[in-house]
Amino acid sequence: MKEYLKKHQKTIISYVGVAAVLILVGLLPLIMGNSESGRDLISGKNTSQSDYYLPDISGSDNISTDEMKIERVVVTKLLDINESGGDWGGESIIQRTQTFMVKILTGPYKGVEAQMELDLTDITGTGKGVITAKEGDRLLGYFVMDYNTYTLYGTCTGFQRDIPLMWLALVFIVLLVLFFGRSGIKSFSALIITCLMLIFVMIPLVYRGMDPVLAVAIFGSATIVVTLLMVHGPSVSSLAAGTGAVGGVLASALIAYILKSVIWITGTVDEESISLLYTENGKNLDVAAILFAAIVIGSLGGTIDVSVSIASSLEEIKGKMGDKITGWELVRSGMSIGCDIMGASLNTMILAYVGSSFQLLILFSAYNISLEEIINNEMIAVELLRALAGCFGLLMSVPVTSLTAAVFSCKGNMGTFKPTDIKLVRIFSKAGTKLSEAWQSALDEAKKKASEKEEEPEQPQVNLFEKARQHYDEMHDAESDEKGE
C-alpha cells in the first residue's frame, strides 16, 4: 500500500485537489440560498421563451396545454405550403406556412403521427432566411391536444442540430485519445468539468443575483486549478502556470473594470442582453457587470494556454541546465519565450474577436458608415474592449509566470539582476551599441581617407610660359632642319 501511494502520489494529490475544488464550488449554491428561479434555470423548466413558438390557443378551452415539452419528430409526409398576407413592423410581408405529417419520437405521444406546421415567413425578403422541411428531416416542436377531435397539433421550433454536433464531438474525442492517450483523456475531462461548473454553478449564481465579477473570479480560479491539476499534476510548472494565469485574468478584470465608466458601457449590446432584463429576475441583474464578466471569461483560456507553454518551457530549460542557470537568467529566458508565443496568441485572439463581429462590420461597410462612427458604436467598442482586455491578460501572464517559475525552480539562487534582463532595456542597449559602432566606423573611415590623401606625392607645378617656349623652340628647330636639307 505504501509503495502504491508513493508511486501514484502526484496522481492522488491531483484528484484530491480536484475533488476539493468541486466540493467547494458545489457548496456555493447552498451558501447563496435556494432559489426556485435558479433551479428552474438549471433544469430548463423556465418556459417564458416557449410562448414565442406556440400558436395562439388561449381562446380555446378544448386544447390542453398542460406540461407541454419540446419533442423530437421525423417528417413522414409533406402536405402543402400556405401563403397569406401579413404585417411585420409596418411592412407587408407574405407569410408562408409549411404543413406536413410527422412521427413523434419522444415523450408521452411517442410513435404517434401528428400534423405539424413550420413557419417559412422570410422577413428579410431575400429568400435566404428559411429552410423548407423534407421527408426524413428530424425536427423539434411542441404538441397540444384538441379534446373535441382528439387530434394533436404541433408547431415546429427548429431542426435537430445537436446530433451532427455530437457526432463531430465524438470524432474529436476519439482522435484526441488516439493521438495523446491518457493526456488526451485528462484534457477532455478537465474541459467537461469546466463546462459543468459554468452551466450548473456559475450561470445560476449570477442569475440569482451574485456579483458577476466575483462569480467569474471564483469560476476562473477553480477552472485554473482543475485544469492544471488534471492535465499537468502538482508541480512547480503547474504552480507557475496557475499563478501566471490568475495574474493575467486579474489584469483583464482590472482593465475591464476601469474602462466600465470611462467608455460608458450599458451592457445592452445585443438581443440576449436586452432579453435578460425581461426575465423574472431581470430587475436584479447588472447587465454591464455580466458583460465585463464575459470579457474576463474570454481571456481565461488564452492566459492559461500562454502560462502553461512558458512554464513547461522553463521547466525543460531548468532540467537541462541545472544549477548553471540563475533565477534572473531563467526569467530572461521566459520573457524571450513569451515574446515568441505572444505574437501568435495575440493574432489568434484579435482574429477571433473580429470574426465574432464580422457580419456587423460588413453591414457597416455596406452602408458606408465612417470609421469614427464604427469605433464609437457600443457593440464594436465592447468587442474592442474584449480584445484589448484579453491582450493585457496575455501580456501580464508572461512576466508573472516567468518570475514564479524562477523563484520556485532556482530555490533562492536568483543571481544578480541586470538591467539588460528587461527586454526594453536590452533593445535600447543594443540600439545604442549599434549606433556607437556606426559612428565609430564613420570616424575611422574619415581618418583613413585623410591619411591616404596626405601620403599621395605632390604633383610638380607646370609653368605654362616655359612649356609654350619649349614648344616654339621645337617647332623652330624643325623648320631650320627642313631648310638646311
Nearest to 408 by CA among 296, 314, 300, 269: 314
Q: Largest Cα–Cα distance in the chain?
A: 157
Nearest to 386 by CA among 292, 302, 301: 292
CA 282, distance to chain mean position in Å, is 27
> In the numeric block, which cell numbers belong to residue 59?
381562446
From its phi and psi, is residue 67 left (phi > 0), alpha (psi between -120 and 50) or beta? left
Question: Taking the model in full, what pTM does it have?
Answer: 0.64
> In the numeric block, which cell numbers belong to residue 26?
458545489
Residues 295 and 301: their CA atoms lie apart, in Å, by: 11
Judge whether 219 and 193 are in contact, CB under 8 Å: no
Residues 132 and 337: their CA atoms lie apart, in Å, by: 53
Angle in degrees, CA 68, 73, 77, rounded to 5? 125
Judge whether 251 and 393 are in contact, CB under 8 Å: yes
Q: Would you write out the chain's pLDDT as a tens digit for each of its 485 residues?
A: 667 666 666 677 777 777 887 788 878 777 766 544 444 433 334 433 333 333 443 344 444 444 568 899 999 999 998 887 665 555 566 788 899 999 999 988 899 999 999 988 876 666 666 888 999 999 999 888 877 877 788 899 889 998 889 999 999 999 988 998 888 888 888 888 888 888 888 888 888 888 887 888 788 888 888 888 887 788 888 888 889 988 888 888 788 777 766 777 777 777 777 888 888 777 778 888 888 788 788 778 788 888 888 988 888 888 888 888 888 888 888 888 888 787 777 777 777 777 777 777 788 888 888 878 878 888 778 878 877 888 888 888 988 998 898 888 887 677 666 666 566 566 666 777 778 788 888 888 887 777 776 665 555 555 666 666 776 677 767 767 666 65
Nearest to 218 by CA among 235, 205, 233, 232: 205
Per-position DSSP letters for 185-229, written without gaps between them: HHHHHHHHHHHHHIIIIIHHHHHHT--HHHHHHHHHHHHHHHHHH
- Using a 10 angstrom Cβ sphere, with 0-12 exposed, 13-18 middle and 19 or more buried, the burial of residue 209 is middle
Residues 336 and 332: their CA atoms lie apart, in Å, by: 6
> In the numeric block, which cell numbers belong to residue 402?
516567468
